[in-house]
Structure 1
C-alpha cells in the first residue's frame, strides 16, 4: 500500500492551493519556514545577537506568493545596524535597528494641511494605543514606536510592529475617506485598479442590489425580518469581499454590518431599514465616485486575530440550525441566502487558517459563478443545467487540505463526501465537512 501511495504521489503531486485574492488580509500564504525562523530569532536574541534575531524574525513575516509587484517587506543588514521597510495598505513603515533599540515610524500627513479636528483625534487615539504614539515633527504627523532591546523577544517585536502597521493604515484610510487625500504622505506605492475592472464591479453591484430588492418583494413584513436581514447582510458582505473597497465605502460597510450586530435597543426592522437605506446610497453612487474607493497595495499583517476552529465550527452549527428552522417553516427562499452568508461572514469576521480560507472561498465561487466567470475563472456551478464542476471542486478541496496533512494528522480530504444533488445538498454537506475538520497538531 505504501508503494502504491508513493507511485500515486509521483504522478499526482500535491499543489499548494491558490491564495484567494479577495477579502481583507495579506492575499498570500505565510512563510513556509515561519516557525523555524521564529525559533531562530528567539535563540539569537537569547544569545544577545540582536541584529540576527531581528533579521530572522522579520524574514519570518515575508509571505509566499505575494501577488503585489513590489516586495511587501525588505531588509538591509550591515555590521552595526539593520534597516527595514514594510507595506500595510496605505501605510509605509520604515524601521532602524541597532543592538540597543528599534525605532520605526510611518509618515501620515502634512500637519499644516490637516483640519484641527484631525489633530484632536490623534491626541485621543494615543490613549487607545499600547506601543506607538502620534507626534508632529517638522510639520509631519508621524506614528512611531521605540523598543529597548535589553530584554527583547520575537513576541515583543511582533505586537508593536503589527500595531503601528494596522493603525497607520487605518488613519490614512480615514483621512482619505473623510478629508483631503492630498495631505497624505508616502502613497506612491498604491496602484490604481483598471477601468474595465471598475466598470465590471460597478455593474455587478447594481445587478446584485436589483436582484436582492426583487427577491424581497412581498416578503418585507414583520414575519420576514430575518430573511431581509440575511439578504441585506449577505449582499454587503459579498460586495466587501469580492470588490475590497477602501476609504469611505469600506468604513460605511463596516459600520452598517457591525451596527446590525450591536446589542442595543433598536428593533431588527429598524436595523434592516438602515441596511436598506445604505443599499439605496450605493445604488445612487455615480461611477466616478465609486472608482475613487479602490486601489491595490501590499499587506504584511493580517487585521484579524487567529480564530480557533472551535469558534468557526460553532458558528457553522448555529447557522445550519437556522437553515433547518427555515426549512421546517417552509421559508425556502432564504436557504441559499444563509448558505451564502455563512462563508462570507466567516471570511469577513475571522482570522482563518489558509486552508480554511481557501475552502470558504471555494463556496463563495460556487454561488457567485457569474462574477468569477467574468474574472476569467471556470465557473464551478452552471445554473441552467444545475450541475457542478465536480472534478475541479474536488481538486480545489484536495489542494487546500493535503499540504497541511503532515502537520495536522487528523485533517482529511473530504472531496468524496460532497453531495452534488443540488445547491442545497452541496452546501449542507460542504459545511458539515468543514465544521468537522481537525486542526489538532501532534
Structure 2
C-alpha cells in the first residue's frame, strides 16, 4: 500500500474523530415536518406489533406512539405527549392548527379534535361538514355540548400498528385542514384549541413581506417584452416558480395558503382552459399579493409543530422521471435560444418537488440546499451563511460539500447504493451547477439493504 495514501487515510480518520459529522438537520421551511423522524422508528414499530400479538394492548400503543416522536423538536411543548396509566393510556398530538386528544383502554382507542363553537358557525360550514363525512374513511364530524368535533373510535380486538396509523393520520390532517379553512374563509375566533399556535415575530413578518414584494416586482420586470409574444411557457414557469417560492420559504397559512394552493393546482388541472388564461389567473393573484398591506399579510402566519407529514412518500422513480422531463424542457429552450427561462426552470424543479412530493429526509435536505443557492439573499437575511454570492457569481463550495455530506452519509449504512456526489458538481455558473446537481439527484439509489 502507498505510504502517502495510508497517512492521508489516517489523517482523515483522526479528523473525523475530532470533528464528528454534524447530525443531519431538517429544513425549517415548507409544509413537511420540520424535524427528523425517530431514529428508532422501525424498531418501535416492530415492538408495537409484537406487543399486540401478545395481547399487551397498552404497551403496543405506547410503542407505536413513541415511534411518531421526532428528533429535535424546536417548539416549547412536545408535538406528541404520552401518559401511561395502569389501565389506560392518554395522549395528545399537534398537527398545525389542530390538537388531537386521545385515550386508549384495553378495548378501544377514542380520539377527537375540537374544531369550533357550533352555535356561531355559518350554516354553509355545517353543510360542508356533512359532505366531508362522505369523503372520510375513519373519522366523522359530530356536535356535542355546542362544540363541533372530528373524532375516531377503534376497536382493539384485532389492532395492529397499521390500523392505528392511517386513522390517526386522517383525523390529524383533516382537523388541521378544516380549521385552516374556517380561519381563511370565515372568522377564526370560532376556532377552539388554538393556544398552542405561536405568533411570528413582527420583524420576521416585515422581512418576509419585503422579500415577497421584491420577488413579485423582479418577476414582473423579467417578463417585460415577453408577455406580448408567444412565450406562454416561459411566463408559466416564472409565475409558478414565484408562487412555489412564496409558499415554501414564507409558509403562509389560512386564506393565503389556500389561494396559493388553488392557483398552483388549478394550473395543472386537465381542463379546456387555455394556458394564456391560466397565466392570467396567476398574474391576477400575484397582483393581489402585491397590493396586500403588511397588516393583512401578518394575519396569515403562525408557527406550529406537525406530527404527520401531509404527503404520501414518493418513490424515487417518480422524482427521477419529473427531473428528466424538466431537464428535457431545459434542453428545448436552450435549442430555441430562450436563455432567460432556463434559470427559472432550474429553480422551479426543486421548489415543485418540495411542494408536491413526500421525500426521504436526505432528499428533502438536498433539494432545500438547491433552493438556498438560488435564494441566497433571503437566507442571508435569515442569518444563514449564503451558499452563493450573486454579485461575484461564486459558490461557497466547501459549505455546499459539507451540507451534501451531512445529508447523505447518515443514511449510507441503510442504503448501500447512496453515495456522496459533491465531487461531481460543476461550479462554473448557476446553470451548470443546477444541471450537474439534478443529474446526481436523479440517479440517487434509495434501495434498502
Q: With structure 2 as the length reference, what TM-score do the two structures score?
A: 0.97
Measure how far apart 1:340 and its partner are.
0.4
For 2:446, the equivalent position in structure 1 comes to: 439
Return the alpha-carbon distance in structure 1 between the equivalents of residues 130 and 77 of structure 2: 33
SS in 2 for 1:200: helix
In the alignment, is residue 121 of structure 1 matched against residue 121 of structure 2?
no
Residue 108 of structure 1 is matched in structure 2 by 115
Pair 1:299 & 2:298 matched: no
Unaligned runs of 5+ in 2: 1-5
Query: What corresponds to 1:272 in structure 2?
Result: 279
Choose from 250, 254, 259 the match for 2:266. 259
1:28 alignment partner in structure 2: 35
SS in 1 for 2:124: helix
What is the CA-CA distance between 1:426 and the residue it aligns to? Answer: 0.4
Q: Which range moves more in the overlay, 221-230 or 113-122?
A: 221-230
Q: Can you list the C-alpha shifts for 1:146-194, whole angstroms capped at 9, x where unaligned?
A: 0000000000000000000000000000000111111110000001100
Q: Deviations over 1:384-429 (max 9, x none)?
A: 1110000000000000000000000000001111100010110000
Name 2:175's counterpart in structure 1: 168
Name the counterpart of 1:13.
20
Shift of 1:8: 4.9
Partner of 2:3: none
Q: Is the 8 A contact 1:31 1:61 kept in 2?
A: yes
Which of 199, 204, 212 is the matching residue for 1:197? 204
Query: Is 1:156 paired with 2:163?
Result: yes
Tell me the residue number matched to 1:413.
Answer: 420
3-state SS, counterpart of residue 223 of structure 1 = coil
- After TM superposition, the structure 1 = structure 2 runs for residues 241-252 of structure 1, keeping only pairs within 5 Å, are 241-252=248-259
Which secondary structure state, in structure 1, belongs to the residue aligned with residue 39 of structure 2? coil
Instruction: For residue 310 of structure 1, report the CA deviation from its aligned partner.
Output: 0.5
Deviates more, 1:8-17 or 1:406-415: 8-17
Q: 1:350 aligns with which of 357, 372, 375?
A: 357
Matches of 1:68 and 1:315, distance apart in 2: 34
Aligned residues: 442
TM-score by length of 1: 0.99
Q: 1:50 aligns with which of 38, 57, 63?
A: 57
Q: Gapped runs of 5+ residues in structure 1? A: none
Q: Distance in 1 between matches of 2:127 and 2:341?
A: 46
Q: Does 1:213 align with 2:220?
A: yes
CA distance in 2, matches of 1:430, 1:262: 29
Quote the offset at 1:118 in angstroms: 0.5
Deviation at residue 222 of structure 1 after TM alignment: 4.8
> Matches of residues 362-441 of structure 1 in structure 2 within 5 Å?
362-441=369-448
- Is this contact kept in 2: 1:123–1:134, CA < 8 A? yes
| Matches of 1:205 and 1:383, distance apart in 2 | 18
State which of 81, 91, 96 in structure 1 corresponds to 2:88: 81
Q: State the SS of the aligned residue for 1:333.
A: helix
User: 1:176-187 alignment to 2 at 5 Å?
Assistant: 176-187=183-194
Cα RMSD for the two superposed structures: 1.1
Contact kept? 1:73, 1:84, Cα under 8 Å: yes
Report the Cα distance in structure 1 between the residues aligned to 2:205 and 2:345, rounded to whole angstroms: 28
Q: How far apart in 2 are the matches of 1:6 and 1:157?
A: 44
What do the CA deviations read for 1:101-141 (whole angstroms, capped 9, x no partner)?
Answer: 00000000010000011001000000000000000101100
Q: Secondary structure at the residue paired with 1:289?
A: helix
Distance in 1, Cα, partners of 2:213 & 2:448: 45
The offset of 1:66, in angstroms, is: 1.5
Which of 150, 153, 164 does residue 143 from structure 1 map onto? Answer: 150
Post-superposition offset of 1:261: 0.2
Distance 2:240 2:159 in 1: 44
Instruction: Determine whether 1:318 maps to 2:340.
Output: no
Which stretch shifts more, 303-312 or 63-72? 63-72
* Distance in 2 (alpha carbons) for counterparts of 1:202 and 1:429: 33
Q: Are the counterparts in 2 of residues 23 and 348 from structure 1 also a CA contact under 8 Å?
A: yes
